[in-house]
Amino acid sequence: MAIKKKAPRRILVLDVGGSHVKFRVGDRGEEQKFASGPKLTAAAMVKKLRKLIDRSDYDAVSIGYPGLVFRGRIAAEPFNLGRGWVGFDFEAGLGRPVRVINDAAMQAVGSYTGGRMLFLGLGTGMGATLILDGIVEPMEIGHLPYKRGRTFEGFVGARALERQGRKRWRKMVAEVVTHLSRAFEVDYVVLGGGNARLLKKLPPRARLGDNMNAMVGGRVIWEMDDPLHLDPKYRVRVRAPKQ
């Protein structure tokens, strides 16, 4: 009988976004952040982290990456950051075991309370993840065509917010949430990301997420039996709602 390994206790969780990289060590560590932007490369991010935190402070690393991740590896360069992410050796750079997951999936895992859930991250772009009865399915639907020659992200991302104004943007968010929740036949929708807080009224069966759930998700993926390297789909246990 195989002995299940214990999850690392001091996990450095990185939530990589289009405007900031947020990070924290352990459940009680202080969340810190630094600017990212369209020129940030993987090497530059690691170099910055080395200046801010010593590798003796953590035992393992979780990275929430804003792009396509397949079987625990970055499969495509990000839309809103610099180049050089595909094939980068994070374990060598950070000196510890590393698990990489799509950033929306990481926050979705930390937000999940059972059933069929759609997570949408409203930030620089639009991240999306389905969790269907515990099976996690990261998606890249933000870049799919929606209407009038624009993608879903083109209507609910940060540039769309600036172009349309808050009132019109809120209407488009409600429309997109309604369409996608019907298409995927989910029980509820969690809206996360920095811009979700700008919503005045939530669509039916939707609730606001908490950006701290990304940090929770970063810990949870180390509680699984190395699923990210064995299968592109993996199971997450049901978590109690945050009070």
How confident is the model at residue 240, as a pLDDT? 43
How confident is the model at residue 235, as a pLDDT? 56
Residue 229 pLDDT > 60: no
SS3 labels along 70-100: ECCEECCCCCCCCCCCCCCCHHHHHCCCEEE
How confident is the model at residue 123, as a pLDDT? 87
Per-residue pLDDT tens over the stretch 177-200: 999 999 999 999 999 988 999 999
The average confidence (pLDDT) of the chain is: 88
C-alpha distances in Å from residue 131, one per residue of 7, 44, 50, 119, 184:
22, 32, 34, 8, 11
Q: Which is nearest to 221 in space by CA: 242, 237, 206?
A: 237
pTM surpassing 0.85?
Answer: no
How confident is the model at residue 241, as a pLDDT? 42
Which domains are delineated in the chain? 11-106+212-235 (3.30.420.40), 114-208 (3.30.420.40)
